């Protein structure tokens, strides 16, 4: 038995192998039940019936030829035996000197047997030739069968590719449906808000009509009430003037103290490092900073006549914008002297339920805090005193940002809306609506006063026109949620950190992603902030790691960790120093960690050890016991170089001194 026959018996591959192995005839093989045939043969069975029939006929013919060859071989064997017997008889006859006639007869019989043997050999050769032809035809049929099997395999691969393409198209269709559903929800929300606004407007018109009617009815006593109002106004102006004078004198005293402290620091710095003063701390720059502080105090003193008592107490309506303008003019010439925080100067319980966000103006003259009490509080950083509060939000405020000129404040939170306040009057200028879920992060364009951006839990980013209060562009990513964003490249791009740990850079003009860092953090990104110089950006993730991004190459410049440092929640925010040399972050343990970007292996840990926290409002001043170890939610570093401000989950705002 040949090797191929043994293989066919072990692994039947062709129809005759299945027949030889006991599977029946070829017809039974090809017409066996569907469960045995398999899905591939059932698909292509009809086109092979003729080939299978020809194959079976050739196989039967080959079997018959093999049987005839076997019979011929048997006859040849018998003739050989008979020839041998006759030769023995001839030999015996010759030896026995048999009769000549018998010998002749035997010789003739031998010749006849030889002739028959030759005929048998010829017939055997013909049968062998037919067998060879049958084998060649069988091999051709096998080649055809293998080619058809390969075609079936190729068809199956094409079918799998088509199925994969169908699944991809189905996935894209689902994404498009989800995006359409999100837009439909947003449109429905806008329609509801429009209807609510129409209802409010009708109600306001009704109230206005009632007031006009009441005004007409009370016209008789209007002169007397006006006189009373004028008298009360004069009394209030006199009281406000006294209060303004007292506050101005206090501010001048505090300014003198700050100038004296700055001079002492300059003297100490010059004495400590006489040969090579630190960057940004040269005597010329320190003198220019002292001159700037004196100029600010002089402006405050000269503007006391135009003081508006109201939201921010003794602050003129032109002072906020003036400070920002002065900062813009001198920022390129005078580098801020960065002072490292060393200990808490004052801690104030500012927000009931927790504080979630902090933001400085570009000049560093004001800082805002926002939290769960739906209020944004404005602070004077040098004195750590509250100078105003902004109300109007309907739910928790998660983030806030000053406009480029410092005259307005934008804040947003859980009520799915953003509100723009005028800081000179404390009134809401616009309520920006369009997000279907809570607002997670926002930022005002540092180069344009009428542009801002926001991100929401509805997986959308929006670019706003603050002058009209309308959305001018949507950046929709239906698969990912942006948790934190900030403007980059002088307001031309948006840098966004996502829950999947990726960092993206969006072009605000085209609405497309220009650059992306995949898997920047192992978990969701909590905070994204841009340095004052625009050269570096700082990110923070739930993997308890901070990373500094070089904005020129968009690559990681430094990675920062620390033993005991941990991020509390996705609302945690971090900051870079004005010179972009240091990074600061708050920990879940209640400590503040500071890293040097160029050598981040030795961070500095600062603990808030104050045991008394001051609670202030217009009605009450008291003291509460502060429990240390509360997680720090946000930190902010003043553009002037100091101070550093932090807030925690208990709603306490802490001002750190150098």
- Confidence band of 228 (pLDDT split at 50, 70, 90): low
Is residue 305 over pLDDT 50? no
Show the domain range for 377: 340-657
Question: Do 305 and 373 belong to one domain?
Answer: no
Does residue 625 belong to any structural domain of this protein? yes
639 three-state secondary structure: coil
Question: Do 306 and 366 belong to one domain?
Answer: no
Q: Is the dihedral of CA 259, 260, 261, 262 positive or negative?
A: positive
- Point out the domain boundary residue: 290, 309, 329: 329
Average pLDDT over residues 84-101: 76
- Confidence band of 312 (pLDDT split at 50, 70, 90): very low
Higher pLDDT, 189 or 609: 189
Tell me: the pLDDT tens digits for 172-184? 998 888 888 888 8
Does residue 174 belong to any structural domain of this protein? yes
Tell me: the pLDDT tens digits for 500-536? 999 999 999 988 999 999 999 999 999 999 998 889 9
Taking the alpha carbons at both ends of the chain, their separation in whole angstroms is 98
CB 539 within 8 A of CB 498: no
CA distance readout (Å), 156 to 14, 48, 162, 170, 250: 21, 18, 10, 21, 87
Question: Do 551 and 430 belong to one domain?
Answer: yes
Question: Do 322 and 395 belong to one domain?
Answer: no
Tokens representing residue 247 in the block? 């506050």
- Point out the domain boundary residue: 304, 329, 354: 329
The pLDDT of residue 209: 81
Total count of domains within the chain: 3
Tell me: the pLDDT tens digits for 614-643? 544 433 333 333 344 588 999 999 999 999
Does residue 260 belong to any structural domain of this protein? yes
CB 574 within 8 A of CB 529: yes
Burial track 326-365 (b if 16+ CB lie within 10 A, e otherwise): bbeeebeebbbbbbbbeebbbbbbbbeebbbbbbbbbbbb
Give the mean pLDDT of the chain.
80
Does residue 186 belong to any structural domain of this protein? no
Question: Do 455 and 575 belong to one domain?
Answer: yes
CB 124 within 8 A of CB 76: yes
User: How far is C-alpha 305 from the chain's CA centre?
Assistant: 52
Q: Which of 636, 577, 625, 630 is nearest to 607 (CA)?
A: 630
Does residue 198 belong to any structural domain of this protein? no
Tokens representing residue 147 in the block? 């080619």
- Point out the domain boundary residue: 294, 329, 364: 329
Q: Exposed, middle or buried, 588 (CB in 10 Å: 0-12/13-18/19+)?
A: buried
CB 300 within 8 A of CB 234: no
Question: Do 446 and 520 belong to one domain?
Answer: yes
Is residue 407 over pLDDT 80? yes
Does residue 420 belong to any structural domain of this protein? yes
Distance CA 374, CA 412 (A): 10
Question: Do 75 and 121 belong to one domain?
Answer: yes
The pLDDT of residue 467: 94
Question: Do 261 and 305 belong to one domain?
Answer: yes
Does residue 15 belong to any structural domain of this protein? no
The pLDDT of residue 32: 54
Question: Do 145 and 246 belong to one domain?
Answer: no
Distance CA 152, CA 182 (A): 45
- Confidence band of 159 (pLDDT split at 50, 70, 90): very high
The pLDDT of residue 28: 54
Does residue 569 belong to any structural domain of this protein? yes
Say what the pTM is. Answer: 0.53
> Among 54-58, 327-331, 414-418, 429-433, where is mean pLDDT lowest?
327-331
Question: Do 424 and 561 belong to one domain?
Answer: yes
Distance CA 157, CA 140 (A): 26
Higher pLDDT, 438 or 103: 438
Summary count for the chain: helices (H), strands (E): 10, 32
Question: Do 267 and 355 belong to one domain?
Answer: no
The pLDDT of residue 339: 86
Higher pLDDT, 457 or 315: 457
- Confidence band of 42 (pLDDT split at 50, 70, 90): low
Question: Do 55 and 154 belong to one domain?
Answer: yes
């Amino acid at each position: 038995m040949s090797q191929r026959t043994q293989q066919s018996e072990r692994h039947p591959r062709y129809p005759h192998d299945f027949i030889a192995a006991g599977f029946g005839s070829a017809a039974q093989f090809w017409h066996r039940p569907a469960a045995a045939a398999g899905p591939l043969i059932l698909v292509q069975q009809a086109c092979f019936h003729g080939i299978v029939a020809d194959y079976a006929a050739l196989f039967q013919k080959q079997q018959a030829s093999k049987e005839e060859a076997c019979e011929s071989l048997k006859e040849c064997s018998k003739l050989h035996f008979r020839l041998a017997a006759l030769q023995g008889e001839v030999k015996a006859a010759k030896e026995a000197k048999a009769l000549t006639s018998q010998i002749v007869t035997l010789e003739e019989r031998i010749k006849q047997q030889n002739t028959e043997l030759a005929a048998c050999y010829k017939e055997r050769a013909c049968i062998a030739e037919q067998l060879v032809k049958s084998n060649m035809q069988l091999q051709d049929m096998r080649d055809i069968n293998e080619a058809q099997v390969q075609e079936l395999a190729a068809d199956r691969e094409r079918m799998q590719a088509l199925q994969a393409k169908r699944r991809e198209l189905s996935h894209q269709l689902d994404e498009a449906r989800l995006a359409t559903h999100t837009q439909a929800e947003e449109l429905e929300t806008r329609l509801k808000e429009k209807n609510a606004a129409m209802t409010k407007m009708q109600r306001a018109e009704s109230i206005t009509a009632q007031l006009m009617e009441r005004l007409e009815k009370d016209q008789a006593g209007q002169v007397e009430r006006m006189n009373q109002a004028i008298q009360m106004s004069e009394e209030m102006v006199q009281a406000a003037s006294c209060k303004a004078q007292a506050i101005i004198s206090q501010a001048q005293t505090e300014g003198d103290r700050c100038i004296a402290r700055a001079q002492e620091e300059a003297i100490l710095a010059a004495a400590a490092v006489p040969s090579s003063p630190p960057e940004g701390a040269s005597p010329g720059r320190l003198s220019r900073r002292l001159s700037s502080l004196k100029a600010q105090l002089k402006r405050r003193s000269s503007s006391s006549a135009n003081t508006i008592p109201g939201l921010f107490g003794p602050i003129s309506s032109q002072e906020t914008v003036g400070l920002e303008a002065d900062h813009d003019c001198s920022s390129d010439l005078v580098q801020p002297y960065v002072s490292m925080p060393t200990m808490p100067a004052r801690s104030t319980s500012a927000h009931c339920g927790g504080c979630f966000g902090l933001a400085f103006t570009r000049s560093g003259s004001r800082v805002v805090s926002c939290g769960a009490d739906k209020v944004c509080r404005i602070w004077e950083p040098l004195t750590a005193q509250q100078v105003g509060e902004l109300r109007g939000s309907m739910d928790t405020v998660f983030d806030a940002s000053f406009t480029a000129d410092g005259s307005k404040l934008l804040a947003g939170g859980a009520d799915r809306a953003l509100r723009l306040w005028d800081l000179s009057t404390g009134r809401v200028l616009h309520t920006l609506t369009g997000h279907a879920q809570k607002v997670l992060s926002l930022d005002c364009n540092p180069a344009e006063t009428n542009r801002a951006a926001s991100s929401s839990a509805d997986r959308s980013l929006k670019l706003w026109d603050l002058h009209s209060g309308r959305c001018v562009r949507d950046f929709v990513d239906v698969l990912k949620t942006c948790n934190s964003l900030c403007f980059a490249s002088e307001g031309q791009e948006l840098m966004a950190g996502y829950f999947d740990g990726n960092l993206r850079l969006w072009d605000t003009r085209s609405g497309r992603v220009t650059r992306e860092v995949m898997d920047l953090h192992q978990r969701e990104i909590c905070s994204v902030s841009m340095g004052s110089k625009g050269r570096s950006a700082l990110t923070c993730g739930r993997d308890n790691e901070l990373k500094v991004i070089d904005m020129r190459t968009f690559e990681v410049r430094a990675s920062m960790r620390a033993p005991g440092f941990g991020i509390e929640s996705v609302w945690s925010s971090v900051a870079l120093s004005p010179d972009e040399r240091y990074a600061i972050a708050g920990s879940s343990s209640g400590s503040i960690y500071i890293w040097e970007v160029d050598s981040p292996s030795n961070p500095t840990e600062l603990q808030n050890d104050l045991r008394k926290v001051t609670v202030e409002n217009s009605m009450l001043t008291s003291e509460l016991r502060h429990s240390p170890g509360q997680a720090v939610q946000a930190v902010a570093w003043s553009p002037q170089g100091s101070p550093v401000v932090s807030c925690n989950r208990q709603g306490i705002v802490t001002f750190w001194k150098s």
